[in-house]
Each structure stands twice: as C-alpha cells, then as structure tokens.
Amino acid sequence: MIIPERSRWFPVLILLLVGGLLGLSAPENRSNSQIEVIPQSATPLDGMQAFDQVMQVLTHKRCVNCHPAGDRPRQGEDSHYHNFGVQRGKGNHGVAALTCNTCHQAENNNYAGVPGAPDWSLAPRSMAWEGLSRVEIAQSILDPARNGGRTLAQTVSHLTEHELVLWAWDPGVDANGIPREKPPVSKVDFIKAVRAWAAAGAPIPAK
C-alpha cells in the first residue's frame, strides 16, 4: 500500500528502525533446505582425514565455479560458463554496468532462482582453483602470496565463517525451482575438518 510522505523526518525514522531491525535479525530465507542431522564422529579426525574432507568441498563445483582459472565465472551443476558472457571485471565484481549485484543480492532469490550471498563475487585470479589438483588447491590456500595475505588462522576463519563460503550449504534453487546440489560433506563436518586440519599443522599429502 502506498503511504505518501507526510513528514520529512518520518521516512528517516522508519529507515533507522527498519534498518536496525534488519541488521539484528537473521536474514529470512525461502529455501526449502532441511535441518541437517550431523552424524557425530566418534574419534577426532587426523590431519589427512581432515584434508580429505576439506578437499571434497573445495573441489566441488559450488566452490570451483567462482574460483575459475580465467576471467569468466562458471555456473550450474555442469559448470558451464556463466550465461550471457558474464565477466570478472577489474575488482572481481563484474564489469562497470553489469556487476554481480545487477542480478545477485545478499541472499538467494528463490522466486527468480538467482543465488545470492553477501559480497557475491569471484575469487581473485590468484585464488583460481579450476583445473588444480587437491594438493595444488591446498598449497594455494596456504600461500599468502595467493590467498590474499591470510595467515592460517585467517584462512580457517574465511573457510568456516565467511557467508559467501557457507552459502555452499544453502545454495537455494535454480531457475526451474530445482534445489542446487550441496557439497558432499555437511557444513558442520566441513567446519570441523577445516579446524582439525589446521590444528594438525595443515598437512598436505604428497599427491
């Protein structure tokens, strides 16, 4: 319903109030995702087991599609190039008038089947994973020259807390309303595995 402007201060007040509420409350979600039942591991993972689990996620298309080797994002379960020739752009957020945010917002839009999360963007070129082996991806994320200058602790926090990373477990539905495939390891297990791997000194197998 249209409520015409009555006072100059009123909208500002509403804006502050609603903005505040939005900031405090968890984002609403229309996704049909079920609450996951996480099997509890009986024994703590050793470093190599943890590595395996972490890599099952990082090599999944949900991650690799936005860590492409070139300047074109990929999309979909078949990792095709992003439709309409979408490009990385200078700051990894798309080109001047066709940014990621032209279509992608801070959360999934399940009416449109357009995925979204805060800071929706491509991983920088230095963080390209497409075509890399598990070992190479691991080396890459531990290498401050390529991982955005992160320490191991910062990398752990990126992998376990960043909303864009965690979107992989809440990927919403596609344009046909079909739920997107999630990584083969649950979010909780992944977070545990990342921590266990780091705690074990982030070991990388020979191959």
Partner 1 sequence: MSTENKKKGFSRRKFLTRSAIGLGVILGSGYLSRNLIRRYLAGAINELEPSYQGNTKSPSLWFEITAANEIILHSPKVEMGQGTFTGLAQIAADELEVDISQIQVVHAASASGNLDGLSTGGSTSISGLWQPLRELAATMREMVKQAAAQQMGVDVAELSVNNGVITAAGKSLTYGAVVKEVSEWVVPKTPPLKPIKDYKFVGKPVPRVDLRDKVLGAPIFGMDATMPDMLFGAVVRPPMIGATYAGADTAAAAKMPGVVKIVSEPDFVGVVATSRMAAENAKQAIQANWTTEKSWQTADIEAMIKVGQGTPYVIQKSGNAQRLLAAGEDIITAEFKSPIGAHAQLEPNGAVAFVEGDKATIMISTQVVKLTRGEVAKRLGIAEENVNIQPTFLGGGFGRRLHTPNAVQAAVLSKAVGKPVKCFFDRQEEFQNDTFRPPTHHVLKAKLDADGMIAAIEHNVSSGDVMFGSPMFPALAEPLLGADVGAWRGGMIQYGAIPNYQTISWRVKLPFATSWWRSLGLLANTFAIESFMDELALKAGKDPVEYRLAQIQDDEAGTRLKSVIRAAAEKAGWRDEVVDGRAMGFAASTDAQTPCAQVVEVSIENEEIKVHKVTCAIDPGLAVNPDQVRAQCEGAIIMGLSATMYEQMIVKDSVLYPTIYGPYRMALMRDAPREIDVVILENTGVPGAVGEPPLGPIGAAIANAVFRLTGRRLREMPLAIA
Partner 2 sequence: MEVSFLINGVSQRVDVDADTPLLWVIRDILDLKGTKFGCGKAACGACTIHIDGEAVRACAYAVKFAEGKSITTIEGLSVGDKLHPVQQAWMEEVVPQCGYCQPGFMMATAALLEKIPQPTDQDIDDNIVNVCRCATYYRMRKAIHRAAAIKQETR
Rounded to whole angstroms, the Cα distance separating 142 from 140 reads: 5
Q: 119, 138, 137: which is closest to 128 by C-alpha?
A: 137
Q: Is 1 in the site for partner 2 (CB under 8 A)?
A: yes
Q: Is 23 in the site for partner 2 (CB under 8 A)?
A: no
Q: Which residue has the tokens 């509403």?
A: 14
Q: Is 84 in the site for partner 1 (CB under 8 A)?
A: yes
Query: Which is nearer to partner 2, 112 or 142 (by Cβ)?
Result: 112
Rounded to whole angstroms, the Cα distance separating 198 from 192 reads: 10
The helix or strand, by DSSP H or E, that contains position 146, with its residue range, turns out to be none
Q: Which residues, in sequence order, are CB contacts of 155 under 8 Å at separation 6+?
A: 141, 142, 147, 198
Partner interacting with residue 101 (select from partner 2, partner 1, none; CB below 5-8 Å by kind): partner 2
Q: Is 133 in the site for partner 1 (CB under 8 A)?
A: no
Query: Which is nearer to partner 1, 96 or 206 (by Cβ)?
Result: 96
Angle between the N-to-C axes of helices 47-58 and 134-142, in degrees from 0 to 180, rounded to the nearest 10? 100
Q: Is 13 in the site for partner 1 (CB under 8 A)?
A: no
Q: Where are the alpha helices (DSSP H) in 95-143?
A: 134-142
Q: Which of 175, 179, 199, 203 binds partner 1 (CB under 8 A)?
A: 175
| Structure tokens, 141 | 């994320």
Q: Is 3 in the site for partner 2 (CB under 8 A)?
A: yes
Query: Which is nearer to partner 1, 7 or 176 (by Cβ)?
Result: 176
| Structure tokens, 80 | 């095709």
Q: Is 179 in the site for partner 2 (CB under 8 A)?
A: no
Residues that bind partner 2 (CB under 8 A): 1-5, 11, 14-15, 18-19, 22, 28, 30, 83-87, 95-99, 101-107, 109, 111-114, 175
Residues that bind partner 1 (CB under 8 A): 83-85, 111, 175-176
